[in-house]
Structure 1
């Protein structure tokens, strides 16, 4: 992890590729990448810095190509912006590798905030409809270059798991081994498996004019379509209306693509998502020198993993 001074220095150097206003640079977060907002000619854009330890240049080029394809096909996805030199990906030397810099248009609209006192039917139907549209369109995607989006089991997080998850984390290892084995044997077909967004949560889209404007395709990969639905519904399963929200989500999804998955299948993918997020934070935080809040987070997630994903009943 970069300290704030070095991180900001790299960001300042990066936006020069797009002739952005350095004074406007604002740090937003570092969940998997370093993300900043900046202005250029009065418009808000977003800078993303990705370490070559996490993604290859070819993988990022494939992601951006897929975004452009979806946008051309009618999906409201925030487009990448070419640098002054005409490149979508710029490189900055960093340690023993590179930071890959990309800039994106702003996804306009309002962020969704769940309110159980309101009817969420139309929102979850829209969310499902949008995912169904992405999955249906992705079936015909052909890369415009020699690059290729990675498959779920080629994810760097999973490939490196032995380097950051200690064997003492027995619950996580048990679930990892069992679920990965199930997924290896899980049926694949053109109707169930293909390119997914990979992180379709409420932080990665904005609502505007009855549409969802989508961004952050960094985790897009070849996976089961049902996993994308699990990602967007799993934070709500504990609610008493959780299964109703799922029903609305599937109703919207089915307007564009038939879902070939049972409730048991979706529950398994929700469990995989719980595990995946545990691994994300294990790599990010480690297990030494944790704050009280981080230690509580891990404790709660271990309990959730051990119990197995559950819907409200």
Structure 2
């Protein structure tokens, strides 16, 4: 997921573009290239176009103090393993002229180091949340892809050596949230806070009982939302592994439903995803029954993100997203409170 906790002012856009311009010359084939901002979030992402042959690449300029170099190296290591061992198309990190995947850029009068990574460019368009029938087909395919990623990470010995976040309850809704506190979200009244706290308490209790067995908890993408998928024909490609870490496998489904959890067609998407997932990986009745827990955990997590970030997505969602969460929270409490 994306965007720093302070507004990205004009000075930041200018500075990061200058970093990007410097970074591309650390990679081969970019002497006549231009950079165009695609997205800004925890990182700044640029489209790099070679003006001679029109070939495209993607450059990510990482925000200082979000991920250390070792964490970024771990992310890239997994991406390379997925490319080699899983039939899923992902953007491949490109080596710089010095043979390294991460290039470090220093700016004058700036104490920070800026880590940059270049990736291959993938064709495709993000799924359209307004096209329900297409989404159902795509979610069944996404279920298959997610299952195969989970099968890979559960048996990939290198996973245990990676330095990545642990997306457990404490890091999402607990006392040490990595993004921010949902209690500080936009439009949180005392009444809403009490309701959401009930949800959080139930989620915590149920996850403690659910456990972290190796068949349920491991290395996950953690941000398989629509914006991080590319559709080209019948193919679904997966991008943006920046949030990958160790968490419950079913959290990947909660993340896939980011920002649309309140839509009436979501139960159909869940069923499609489960159908696809079960083609490649077992999913017990107990696990299926726990899916609403992961959806609600992600929903509250996004309320914290919206309240602590300032970008086009958060501006568009704002307080309305909090209000739309109330019916979901009431239903969850009704269905799961013991």
Question: How does the TM-score come out when normalised to structure 2?
Answer: 0.78
2: CA distance between counterparts of 1:24 and 1:12? 8
Does the C-alpha gap of structure 1 residues 22 and 285 become closer, same or farther in structure 2, counting only changes over 3 Å? Answer: farther
Q: For the Cα contact (< 8 Å) 2:222–2:252, is it kept in 1?
A: yes
User: Does residue 105 of structure 2 align to residue 92 of structure 1?
Assistant: yes
Cross-structure match for 2:245: 221
Residue correspondences, number:
304
Query: Alignment partner for residue 24 of structure 1, among 25, 30, 34?
Result: 34
Moved more, 7-16 or 135-144: 135-144
Query: Alignment partner for residue 111 of structure 1, among 126, 136, 143?
Result: 126
CA RMSD of aligned residues (A): 3.3
Q: For the Cα contact (< 8 Å) 1:107–1:214, is it kept in 2?
A: no
Cross-structure match for 1:80: 93
1: CA distance between counterparts of 2:264 and 2:317? 23
Query: Alignment partner for residue 66 of structure 1, among 67, 78, 83?
Result: 78
User: Does residue 4 of structure 2 align to residue 4 of structure 1?
Assistant: no
What is the CA-CA distance between 1:252 and the residue it aligns to? 0.3
1: CA distance between counterparts of 2:41 and 2:132? 30
Q: For the Cα contact (< 8 Å) 1:21–1:38, is it kept in 2?
A: no
- Bigger relative contact order, structure 1 or 2 (CA pairs below 8 A, ≥6 apart): 2
Q: For the Cα contact (< 8 Å) 2:185–2:308, is it kept in 1?
A: no
Query: Alignment partner for residue 242 of structure 1, among 238, 241, 266?
Result: 266
User: Does residue 222 of structure 2 align to residue 198 of structure 1?
Assistant: yes
Q: For the Cα contact (< 8 Å) 1:237–1:243, is it kept in 2?
A: no
2: CA distance between counterparts of 1:46 and 1:229? 26
Does the C-alpha gap of structure 1 residues 30 and 185 become closer, same or farther in structure 2, counting only changes over 3 Å? Answer: farther
Per-residue CA deviation, residues 238-272 of structure 1 (Å, 9 max, x unaligned), is 34332122111100011111224545522121122
Query: Alignment partner for residue 165 of structure 2, among 150, 154, 173?
Result: 150
2: CA distance between counterparts of 1:85 and 1:225? 37
Structure 1 moving runs of 4+ over 6 Å: none
Q: Per the alignment, in what secondary structure is the counterpart of residue 118 of structure 2?
A: strand
Q: For the Cα contact (< 8 Å) 1:274–1:301, is it kept in 2?
A: no
Q: Per the alignment, in what secondary structure is the counterpart of residue 217 of structure 1?
A: coil
Q: For the Cα contact (< 8 Å) 2:127–2:226, is it kept in 1?
A: yes
1: CA distance between counterparts of 2:279 and 2:239? 22
Cross-structure match for 2:304: 279
2: CA distance between counterparts of 1:39 and 1:245? 36
Query: Alignment partner for residue 233 of structure 1, among 252, 257, 261?
Result: 257
Q: For the Cα contact (< 8 Å) 2:159–2:219, is it kept in 1?
A: no
Does the C-alpha gap of structure 1 residues 9 and 184 become closer, same or farther in structure 2, counting only changes over 3 Å? Answer: farther
Cross-structure match for 1:36: 46
What is the CA-CA distance between 1:152 and the residue it aligns to? 1.0
2: CA distance between counterparts of 1:194 and 1:227? 10
Cross-structure match for 1:137: 152
Q: Which runs of 5+ in 2 are unaligned?
A: 1-7, 333-338
1: CA distance between counterparts of 2:200 and 2:138? 36
Q: Which runs of 5+ in 1 are unaligned?
A: none
Question: How does the TM-score come out when normalised to structure 1?
Answer: 0.83
Query: Alignment partner for residue 67 of structure 2, among 28, 31, 55?
Result: 55
2: CA distance between counterparts of 1:107 and 1:44? 9
2: CA distance between counterparts of 1:305 and 1:188? 27
